[in-house]
Amino acid sequence: MARVEAIEYGDRKVYPVSAFNRGVASWLERLPSVWVEGEVTELRRQERWQSVFFTLKDSADGSCLAAFMARGQFDALQLELRDGERVHVYGRAELWPSRGELRLRALAIERLGLGQHLAALERLRQKLAQEGLFAPERKRPLPRFPRRIGLVTGNDAAAKRDVITAITTRFPPARLLVAETYVQGPRAAAAIVETLRAVVAQPQVDVVILARGGGSFEDLLPFSDERVVRAVASSPVPVVSAVGHEQDTPLCDLAADARASTPTAAARLVVPDLDELVQSLERLRSGLERGARRTLELKRERVQRTGERLRAAARLRVERHRAGLEVLAAKLRALSPRATLERGYAIVRRQGQLLRSTASLALGERVEVELAEGGFAATVEEVRP
């Protein structure tokens, strides 16, 4: 380790800047070499420079780290790195003595391989899932009749045309607002986020389709970028993710309110079928007429039934009275002396008074006898007690 000489001012030790830097630099040299992951930005390479310079950026929070690599070594790697690419850099911290700046001396650079991309993706998926970004209760229903449909798509003519055709075929009156963006490569993620924001900021845009045709795993990576996923989740209007094919599941699919694996499926989600809609309207109209008629019919039937019940009730009442009367008449008949007379009994009266005993009867007295049929007068000839 280089010895750092201090200047003495009385009992104060003072280090010149160069000595301080050298001191820190030699201390830093003791740190081990490690792998650092980040996005490459601001790559600067010039023939007359001995080193290639770049910045490594943390895509999650934007933290930056200056890095460099010997130009010969960098060229030998033949990485053809572009801005925004994710890499693993093996290196160690160094202090650039002339500027007092910390830099990462890169000893090796590796572009992220498929396995590493997958692992990173899985970590991000778990992190965002834990935040609840993919929760089913976050999903919003799509409008049945969007006033305007935003379409964020690449400039790949076929993919764009397929979505537009699918929508306008199904629903000719659809109004679309199409915005092209980069959908591939290191700049895509930021561009997609910007474009999405610009589209939803337009008036009357009620739903947005994020569309991209099929592509390789790497091609679709921007749609799993944390910034894109968050932008989709926080969009003020529902987002339909129509990225890649059925087997692809970029993370934006999970954050979107709905997912479509084909342009036709996307169209089915965002617009009604015009023919079906017209038919359904016609059905509703006949339902309206049928319903009104039915209501009328029901009312009429009810009035009729009520009338019938009224009449029946009246009839029943009369009938009941008549039956009661018959019973009374029968009772009356049973109780009248007439019935007794008909069984052979006779009523005997003296001067209009009913005779119940012979006690007061005298010989020769005149009595009136009444039978069931007719009557006669008689004179008493004999009295028995």
Partner 1 sequence: MSTEPSFEAAEKELRQIVERLEGGAVPLEEAIALWERGEALYRLCRERLEQAEGKVEELARRVEPENPSA
Applying CB under 8 A, which residues contact partner 1?
41, 57, 62, 83-84, 143-145, 164, 168, 171-181, 186-187, 189-191, 194-195, 198-199, 202, 274, 277-278, 281, 284-285, 287-292, 294-296, 298-299
Give dist(CA 156, CA 383) in Å, integer.
145
Nearer to partner 1, 37 or 370 (CB): 37
Q: How far is the CB of 113 from partner 1 (least distance, A)?
A: 23
- The string of DSSP letters for 292-313 reads HHHHHHHHHHHHHHHHHHHHHH
Nearer to partner 1, 144 or 349 (CB): 144
Nearer to partner 1, 44 or 320 (CB): 44
For residue 66, give the H/E element and its range. Answer: strand 64-70
The secondary structure of residue 49, as a DSSP letter, is -
Give dist(CA 244, CA 232) in Å, integer.
16
Q: How far is CA 128 from CA 60, 86, 229, in A?
A: 12, 20, 9
Nearer to partner 1, 168 or 261 (CB): 168
Q: How far is the CB of 278 from partner 1 (least distance, A)?
A: 7
User: What is the rounded radius of gyration, in angstroms, for the C-alpha atoms of the chain?
Assistant: 55
Nearer to partner 1, 88 or 197 (CB): 197
Q: How far is the CB of 57 from partner 1 (least distance, A)?
A: 7
CB 89 within 8 A of CB 103: no
Q: How far is the CB of 218 from partner 1 (least distance, A)?
A: 18
Q: How far is the CB of 191 from partner 1 (least distance, A)?
A: 5
201 C-beta neighbours (distance < 10 Å), count = 10
Q: How far is the CB of 121 from partner 1 (least distance, A)?
A: 20
Nearer to partner 1, 300 or 333 (CB): 300
Going edge to edge, which strands form the sheet with 366-370?
Answer: 353-354, 347-350, 366-370, 375-379
252 C-beta neighbours (distance < 10 Å), count = 26
Q: How far is the CB of 288 from partner 1 (least distance, A)?
A: 4
Nearer to partner 1, 4 or 112 (CB): 112
For residue 339, give the H/E element and its range. Answer: helix 337-342
